[in-house]
Amino acid sequence: MKILADDDLDALLSVVGVGAGARQRDRELPGSKRTVDLLAECPDGSLVHVEFVKDAAPELDLRMVEYRVRLRRRHPDVPIRQVVLVLADVVVPDRYADDGMRCSWQVVRLGELDARALLAQPTTAALAVLGSTETPDRSAVLTAAAAVIAESTVADRRAVLLGAAATLASIVLPGATIDTALREATMPVPIRELPYARMLIEEGREEGREETALAITSAILRRRFGDDPRVPAVAERLADLPVDECVARVIGATTLDELEG
Protein backbone atom coordinates (compact mmCIF):
# COMPACT_ATOMS: atom_id res chain seq x y z
CA MET A 1 0.00 0.00 0.00
CA LYS A 2 2.90 2.34 0.68
CA ILE A 3 4.23 1.48 -2.79
CA LEU A 4 0.89 2.58 -4.25
CA ALA A 5 1.00 5.81 -2.22
CA ASP A 6 4.46 6.55 -3.61
CA ASP A 7 3.30 5.75 -7.13
CA ASP A 8 0.24 8.03 -7.23
CA LEU A 9 -0.89 9.59 -3.95
CA ASP A 10 -3.94 11.29 -5.49
CA ALA A 11 -5.17 8.00 -6.95
CA LEU A 12 -4.78 6.10 -3.68
CA LEU A 13 -6.41 8.82 -1.58
CA SER A 14 -9.34 8.96 -4.02
CA VAL A 15 -10.25 5.48 -2.73
CA VAL A 16 -11.00 7.01 0.68
CA GLY A 17 -12.68 10.09 -0.74
CA VAL A 18 -9.85 12.62 -0.56
CA GLY A 19 -9.50 15.16 -3.36
CA ALA A 20 -6.44 15.77 -5.52
CA GLY A 21 -3.41 17.82 -4.60
CA ALA A 22 -2.32 16.25 -1.30
CA ARG A 23 1.32 15.62 -0.52
CA GLN A 24 2.89 13.08 1.80
CA ARG A 25 4.17 14.15 5.20
CA ASP A 26 6.59 12.55 7.63
CA ARG A 27 4.96 9.38 9.01
CA GLU A 28 6.95 9.31 12.26
CA LEU A 29 4.99 10.55 15.27
CA PRO A 30 6.49 13.03 17.75
CA GLY A 31 7.60 11.68 21.11
CA SER A 32 7.66 8.03 19.99
CA LYS A 33 9.16 5.57 17.54
CA ARG A 34 5.74 4.83 16.07
CA THR A 35 4.93 5.63 12.47
CA VAL A 36 1.53 5.85 10.78
CA ASP A 37 0.88 4.05 7.51
CA LEU A 38 0.15 7.23 5.54
CA LEU A 39 0.00 10.91 6.41
CA ALA A 40 -0.83 13.52 3.78
CA GLU A 41 -1.41 17.26 3.76
CA CYS A 42 -4.32 18.49 1.64
CA PRO A 43 -4.24 21.77 -0.33
CA ASP A 44 -6.36 23.46 2.37
CA GLY A 45 -3.76 22.59 5.03
CA SER A 46 -5.75 19.83 6.70
CA LEU A 47 -4.20 16.43 7.38
CA VAL A 48 -5.36 12.97 6.35
CA HIS A 49 -4.10 9.99 8.31
CA VAL A 50 -4.74 6.55 6.78
CA GLU A 51 -4.11 3.13 8.31
CA PHE A 52 -4.19 -0.01 6.13
CA VAL A 53 -5.66 -3.03 7.93
CA LYS A 54 -5.69 -6.63 6.67
CA ASP A 55 -5.98 -8.65 9.88
CA ALA A 56 -8.05 -8.14 13.01
CA ALA A 57 -6.22 -5.76 15.37
CA PRO A 58 -7.47 -6.00 18.99
CA GLU A 59 -6.11 -2.60 20.06
CA LEU A 60 -6.67 -0.69 16.83
CA ASP A 61 -9.05 1.73 18.57
CA LEU A 62 -6.44 2.67 21.17
CA ARG A 63 -3.77 3.03 18.50
CA MET A 64 -5.97 5.38 16.49
CA VAL A 65 -6.48 7.52 19.60
CA GLU A 66 -2.76 7.54 20.31
CA TYR A 67 -1.98 8.50 16.71
CA ARG A 68 -4.45 11.36 16.84
CA VAL A 69 -3.10 12.70 20.14
CA ARG A 70 0.48 12.65 18.87
CA LEU A 71 -0.52 14.24 15.57
CA ARG A 72 -2.43 16.93 17.47
CA ARG A 73 0.65 17.64 19.57
CA ARG A 74 2.61 18.39 16.39
CA HIS A 75 -0.29 20.18 14.61
CA PRO A 76 -2.35 21.90 17.33
CA ASP A 77 -4.60 23.97 15.04
CA VAL A 78 -4.91 21.80 11.92
CA PRO A 79 -8.04 19.75 11.07
CA ILE A 80 -7.18 16.05 11.13
CA ARG A 81 -9.15 13.36 9.34
CA GLN A 82 -8.48 9.72 10.18
CA VAL A 83 -9.37 6.78 7.93
CA VAL A 84 -8.94 3.02 8.25
CA LEU A 85 -8.80 1.33 4.86
CA VAL A 86 -9.76 -2.32 5.40
CA LEU A 87 -8.18 -4.67 2.85
CA ALA A 88 -9.84 -7.92 3.95
CA ASP A 89 -13.07 -9.12 5.50
CA VAL A 90 -12.28 -8.36 9.16
CA VAL A 91 -14.17 -6.46 11.83
CA VAL A 92 -12.55 -3.16 12.84
CA PRO A 93 -13.84 -0.44 15.18
CA ASP A 94 -14.76 3.04 13.96
CA ARG A 95 -14.56 4.77 17.36
CA TYR A 96 -13.22 4.74 20.87
CA ALA A 97 -15.21 5.76 23.92
CA ASP A 98 -14.78 5.64 27.68
CA ASP A 99 -16.06 7.76 30.57
CA GLY A 100 -13.95 10.79 29.66
CA MET A 101 -12.95 10.58 26.00
CA ARG A 102 -14.56 10.14 22.60
CA CYS A 103 -12.74 9.62 19.31
CA SER A 104 -13.97 8.38 15.94
CA TRP A 105 -12.67 7.82 12.42
CA GLN A 106 -13.92 6.73 9.02
CA VAL A 107 -13.77 3.06 8.00
CA VAL A 108 -13.58 2.32 4.26
CA ARG A 109 -13.84 -1.30 3.14
CA LEU A 110 -12.24 -2.20 -0.18
CA GLY A 111 -14.65 -5.12 -0.45
CA GLU A 112 -17.53 -2.65 -0.74
CA LEU A 113 -15.93 -0.51 -3.47
CA ASP A 114 -16.74 -1.20 -7.13
CA ALA A 115 -13.91 -3.14 -8.76
CA ARG A 116 -14.79 -1.56 -12.13
CA ALA A 117 -14.17 1.92 -10.72
CA LEU A 118 -10.84 0.78 -9.27
CA LEU A 119 -9.81 -0.47 -12.74
CA ALA A 120 -10.07 3.07 -14.11
CA GLN A 121 -6.40 3.87 -13.44
CA PRO A 122 -3.20 1.85 -12.93
CA THR A 123 -2.57 2.59 -9.24
CA THR A 124 -6.07 1.71 -8.04
CA ALA A 125 -6.21 -1.22 -10.51
CA ALA A 126 -3.74 -2.93 -8.20
CA LEU A 127 -6.54 -2.91 -5.58
CA ALA A 128 -9.34 -4.04 -7.89
CA VAL A 129 -9.13 -7.74 -7.04
CA LEU A 130 -10.14 -6.82 -3.46
CA GLY A 131 -13.15 -4.76 -4.59
CA SER A 132 -16.79 -5.65 -5.04
CA THR A 133 -17.52 -7.51 -8.24
CA GLU A 134 -20.58 -9.08 -9.85
CA THR A 135 -18.62 -12.20 -10.71
CA PRO A 136 -17.15 -14.58 -8.13
CA ASP A 137 -14.14 -15.06 -10.44
CA ARG A 138 -11.65 -12.67 -8.85
CA SER A 139 -8.87 -14.08 -11.02
CA ALA A 140 -10.57 -12.41 -14.02
CA VAL A 141 -10.44 -9.09 -12.15
CA LEU A 142 -6.72 -9.58 -11.53
CA THR A 143 -6.18 -10.33 -15.22
CA ALA A 144 -8.06 -7.13 -16.13
CA ALA A 145 -6.00 -5.16 -13.60
CA ALA A 146 -2.76 -6.49 -15.09
CA ALA A 147 -3.93 -5.41 -18.54
CA VAL A 148 -4.70 -1.87 -17.31
CA ILE A 149 -1.30 -1.62 -15.63
CA ALA A 150 0.57 -3.06 -18.63
CA GLU A 151 -1.11 -0.77 -21.15
CA SER A 152 -0.80 2.47 -19.17
CA THR A 153 2.64 2.45 -17.59
CA VAL A 154 6.33 2.42 -18.44
CA ALA A 155 8.41 -0.70 -17.73
CA ASP A 156 9.79 0.17 -14.28
CA ARG A 157 6.47 1.42 -12.94
CA ARG A 158 4.68 -1.50 -14.57
CA ALA A 159 6.80 -4.05 -12.69
CA VAL A 160 6.25 -2.29 -9.37
CA LEU A 161 2.47 -2.05 -9.79
CA LEU A 162 2.11 -5.62 -11.07
CA GLY A 163 4.10 -6.83 -8.08
CA ALA A 164 1.85 -4.84 -5.74
CA ALA A 165 -1.28 -6.20 -7.47
CA ALA A 166 -0.06 -9.79 -7.13
CA THR A 167 0.85 -9.31 -3.47
CA LEU A 168 -2.54 -7.78 -2.66
CA ALA A 169 -4.30 -10.52 -4.61
CA SER A 170 -2.73 -13.09 -2.28
CA ILE A 171 -5.19 -11.91 0.39
CA VAL A 172 -8.07 -13.53 -1.54
CA LEU A 173 -6.48 -15.86 -4.12
CA PRO A 174 -4.08 -18.83 -3.90
CA GLY A 175 -0.67 -18.49 -5.51
CA ALA A 176 -1.39 -20.84 -8.42
CA THR A 177 -4.50 -18.83 -9.37
CA ILE A 178 -2.54 -15.57 -9.27
CA ASP A 179 0.13 -17.08 -11.49
CA THR A 180 -2.48 -18.23 -14.02
CA ALA A 181 -4.31 -14.88 -13.97
CA LEU A 182 -1.11 -12.95 -14.67
CA ARG A 183 -0.13 -15.31 -17.47
CA GLU A 184 -3.48 -14.71 -19.16
CA ALA A 185 -2.89 -10.95 -19.23
CA THR A 186 -1.12 -9.31 -22.14
CA MET A 187 1.92 -7.62 -20.66
CA PRO A 188 5.49 -7.10 -21.83
CA VAL A 189 6.98 -7.64 -18.35
CA PRO A 190 7.78 -11.38 -17.87
CA ILE A 191 5.98 -12.78 -14.86
CA ARG A 192 9.22 -14.23 -13.52
CA GLU A 193 10.56 -10.69 -13.05
CA LEU A 194 7.85 -9.77 -10.54
CA PRO A 195 8.86 -10.02 -6.85
CA TYR A 196 5.69 -11.98 -6.02
CA ALA A 197 6.25 -14.33 -8.93
CA ARG A 198 9.79 -15.04 -7.76
CA MET A 199 8.32 -15.94 -4.39
CA LEU A 200 5.81 -18.29 -6.08
CA ILE A 201 8.61 -19.98 -8.02
CA GLU A 202 10.62 -20.52 -4.85
CA GLU A 203 7.53 -21.86 -3.07
CA GLY A 204 6.99 -24.27 -5.95
CA ARG A 205 10.56 -25.48 -5.72
CA GLU A 206 10.21 -25.97 -1.97
CA GLU A 207 6.94 -27.85 -2.42
CA GLY A 208 8.63 -30.04 -5.01
CA ARG A 209 11.47 -30.83 -2.61
CA GLU A 210 8.97 -31.65 0.15
CA GLU A 211 6.92 -33.91 -2.13
CA THR A 212 10.06 -35.74 -3.23
CA ALA A 213 11.22 -36.27 0.37
CA LEU A 214 7.77 -37.54 1.35
CA ALA A 215 7.59 -39.96 -1.60
CA ILE A 216 11.06 -41.39 -0.91
CA THR A 217 10.38 -41.75 2.83
CA SER A 218 7.07 -43.52 2.14
CA ALA A 219 8.73 -45.91 -0.31
CA ILE A 220 11.47 -46.84 2.17
CA LEU A 221 8.97 -47.41 4.97
CA ARG A 222 6.83 -49.67 2.81
CA ARG A 223 9.93 -51.59 1.72
CA ARG A 224 10.92 -52.17 5.36
CA PHE A 225 7.58 -52.60 7.11
CA GLY A 226 5.10 -53.57 4.39
CA ASP A 227 1.95 -51.81 3.26
CA ASP A 228 0.88 -50.70 6.75
CA PRO A 229 -1.96 -48.09 6.77
CA ARG A 230 0.07 -46.02 9.22
CA VAL A 231 2.91 -45.46 6.72
CA PRO A 232 1.57 -42.21 5.15
CA ALA A 233 1.19 -40.45 8.52
CA VAL A 234 4.59 -41.65 9.77
CA ALA A 235 6.27 -40.65 6.50
CA GLU A 236 4.75 -37.18 6.65
CA ARG A 237 6.20 -36.57 10.11
CA LEU A 238 9.60 -38.01 9.20
CA ALA A 239 9.82 -35.98 5.98
CA ASP A 240 9.83 -32.77 8.05
CA LEU A 241 13.15 -33.80 9.64
CA PRO A 242 16.60 -33.04 8.20
CA VAL A 243 17.55 -35.72 5.67
CA ASP A 244 20.32 -37.29 7.78
CA GLU A 245 18.08 -37.56 10.84
CA CYS A 246 15.18 -38.97 8.81
CA VAL A 247 17.38 -41.69 7.29
CA ALA A 248 18.97 -42.51 10.66
CA ARG A 249 15.58 -42.98 12.32
CA VAL A 250 14.21 -45.18 9.54
CA ILE A 251 17.32 -47.37 9.45
CA GLY A 252 17.54 -47.60 13.23
CA ALA A 253 13.92 -48.61 13.79
CA THR A 254 13.04 -52.28 14.08
CA THR A 255 9.26 -51.74 13.96
CA LEU A 256 6.92 -49.09 12.65
CA ASP A 257 5.67 -48.64 16.22
CA GLU A 258 9.00 -47.04 17.14
CA LEU A 259 8.70 -44.48 14.38
CA GLU A 260 5.03 -43.82 15.04
CA GLY A 261 5.94 -42.54 18.50
**pLDDT digits 0-9 by tens, 73-127:** 999 999 999 999 999 999 999 999 988 889 999 999 999 999 999 999 999 999 9
Report the C-alpha gap between 179 and 166 in whole angstroms: 8
Please, which pLDDT band fits residue 188 given cuts at 50, 70 and 90?
very low
**DSSP per-residue string spanning 215-236:** HHHHHHHHHHH-S-TTHHHHHH
Q: Name the H helices within the chain.
A: 2-7, 9-14, 60-74, 115-118, 122-125, 138-152, 155-169, 175-184, 195-225, 231-238, 243-252, 256-260
The domain limits of the chain are: 1-112, 206-260
Query: Which CATH class name applies to 1-112?
Result: alpha beta
- Which of 17, 149, 166, 170 lies closest to 85 in space, CA to CA? 17
**pLDDT digits 0-9 by tens, 30-70:** 777 789 999 999 999 999 999 999 988 889 999 999 999 99
Report the C-alpha gap between 25 and 163 in whole angstroms: 25
Entry pTM: 0.71
DSSP 157: H
